C-alpha cells in the first residue's frame, strides 16, 4: 500500500449506514427502482477502455430472476438472437415497454461481469416501485418472455488513471455498475501501491445487495475495502464492515486527497449532490468526480 490511509485506522464509533463526461453527470430514471431512469442517452465514445461500443436495438429473453434483498430483484436476460452483448462495465441498457400512451423506456445499469455476459447473461438489479407503469410490466415477466432493448449506453466507466486510488460510492441499486467493474478493479489493483474502497449506503444489513460478493472480493484482494453504510440499524452483533449513518456523512470521515483519489458517485441524487459539494470544498477537480444520478419516474 502507499501509506496514504483512505480510512482512519479507527473509524468513529458513531458510524454504523447518465452518461457522463469527466466532471459531468448522467441522469437515468425511475428512482432506485425500477431503478429505471429517464436519461440523456448517448453512445459510448471512442477511446474509452480502448474501444468504441456501438449501441443497437435487440430482443432480450428473460432467463431467470432471483431475490437479492427483500425489495430488489435481479433479472437475468439473454439475447434472443444469440449474439454476444458487447459493453463496457459501468454502462447501462434501456428496456422498451409497450404502454397505452406510447412506448415506455427505462434504463438500468448492467450488473453482469464480462465473463457472465460472455456466457450470454445480462443482469440488472431492480427495486420494485409500487404502481410504476414500467415496473408492473417488468415484474410481470415470466421466464421465456421477450422485451425489446437498446444499448449499451453510458460513460460511467473505469478509465486509465495510473497511480490513482478509487473511492466508489453508491446507494441501493446504484452499486450495480461497481459489481460489473470487479474484474477491471482487480486488474488495476495489480499495480503496487493502489487501493480502492467501496461505500454502499442502504437502510439495514438485509438490503446489502451483492454485499457478500464484495466482502469475498475484499478477502481475496486486500487492497480493496468494502464498507456498508447503514442508516437505520446494524447487525446484532455488528459486523466489521458495517458503519452506522448515511453514506454521504461517512464519506466525511475518510482521509481524501484531491491529488490522489478519483471518486465515483452513483444512485440517489441527494447523496450525489451532498457528496459533490463536500468534495468540491476539498478542492477536488470536477474531472476527478464521476457521477451518475438515478432519477425517479413513474
Q: What is the pLDDT of residues 162-182, one digit of tens each?
A: 999 999 999 999 999 999 999
Res 1: pLDDT: 36
- For the segment 194-199, the average pLDDT, to the nearest whole number, is 98
Percent of the chain with pLDDT over 90: 71
- For the segment 218-239, the average pLDDT, to the nearest whole number, is 96
- Least confident stretch, 19-28, 58-67, 208-217: 19-28
Closest to 170 in 3D by CA, of 199, 204, 208, 127: 199
Are the beta carbons of 249 and 2 closer than 8 angstroms?
no
Residue-wise pLDDT tens digits, 137-168: 999 999 999 999 999 999 999 999 999 999 99
- For the segment 208-229, the average pLDDT, to the nearest whole number, is 97
- For the segment 71-78, the average pLDDT, to the nearest whole number, is 97
- What class is the 26-153 domain? mainly beta
- For the segment 189-208, the average pLDDT, to the nearest whole number, is 96
Closest to 157 in 3D by CA, of 67, 274, 47, 9: 47
Are the beta carbons of 37 and 18 closer than 8 angstroms?
yes
- For the segment 218-237, the average pLDDT, to the nearest whole number, is 96
| Domain extent listing, the chain | 26-153, 157-294
Topology of domain 157-294, CATH? Rossmann fold (3.40.50)
Amino acid at each position: 500500500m502507499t501509506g496514504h490511509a483512505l480510512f482512519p485506522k479507527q473509524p468513529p464509533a458513531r458510524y454504523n449506514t447518465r452518461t457522463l463526461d469527466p466532471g459531468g453527470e448522467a441522469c437515468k430514471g425511475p428512482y432506485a427502482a425500477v431503478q429505471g431512469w429517464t436519461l440523456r442517452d448517448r453512445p459510448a465514445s471512442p477511446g474509452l477502455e480502448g474501444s468504441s461500443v456501438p449501441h443497437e436495438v435487440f430482443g432480450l429473453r428473460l432467463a431467470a430472476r432471483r431475490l437479492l434483498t427483500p425489495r430488489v430483484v435481479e433479472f437475468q436476460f439473454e439475447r434472443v438472437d444469440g449474439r454476444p452483448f458487447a459493453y463496457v462495465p459501468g454502462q447501462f441498457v434501456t428496456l422498451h415497454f409497450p404502454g397505452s400512451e406510447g412506448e415506455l423506456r427505462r434504463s438500468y445499469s448492467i450488473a453482469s461481469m464480462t465473463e457472465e455476459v460472455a456466457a450470454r447473461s445480462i443482469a440488472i438489479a431492480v427495486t420494485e416501485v409500487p404502481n410504476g407503469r414500467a415496473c408492473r410490466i417488468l415484474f410481470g415477466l415470466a421466464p421465456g418472455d421477450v422485451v425489446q432493448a437498446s444499448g449499451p449506453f453510458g460513460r460511467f466507466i473505469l478509465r486509465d488513471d495510473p497511480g490513482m486510488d478509487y473511492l466508489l460510492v453508491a446507494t441501493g441499486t446504484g452499486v450495480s455498475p461497481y459489481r460489473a467493474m470487479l474484474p477491471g478493479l482487480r486488474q488495476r489493483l495489480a499495480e503496487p501501491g493502489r487501493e480502492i474502497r467501496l461505500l454502499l449506503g442502504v437502510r439495514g444489513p438485509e438490503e446489502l445487495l451483492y454485499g457478500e460478493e464484495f466482502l469475498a472480493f475484499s478477502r481475496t484482494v486486500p487492497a480493496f475495502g468494502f464498507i456498508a453504510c447503514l442508516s437505520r440499524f446494524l447487525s446484532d452483533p455488528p459486523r466489521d464492515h458495517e458503519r452506522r449513518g448515511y453514506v454521504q456523512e461517512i464519506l466525511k470521515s475518510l482521509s481524501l486527497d484531491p491529488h490522489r483519489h478519483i471518486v465515483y458517485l452513483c444512485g440517489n441524487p441527494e447523496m450525489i449532490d451532498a457528496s459533490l459539494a463536500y468534495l468540491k470544498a476539498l478542492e477536488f477537480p470536477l474531472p476527478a468526480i464521476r457521477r451518475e444520478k438515478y432519477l425517479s419516474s413513474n
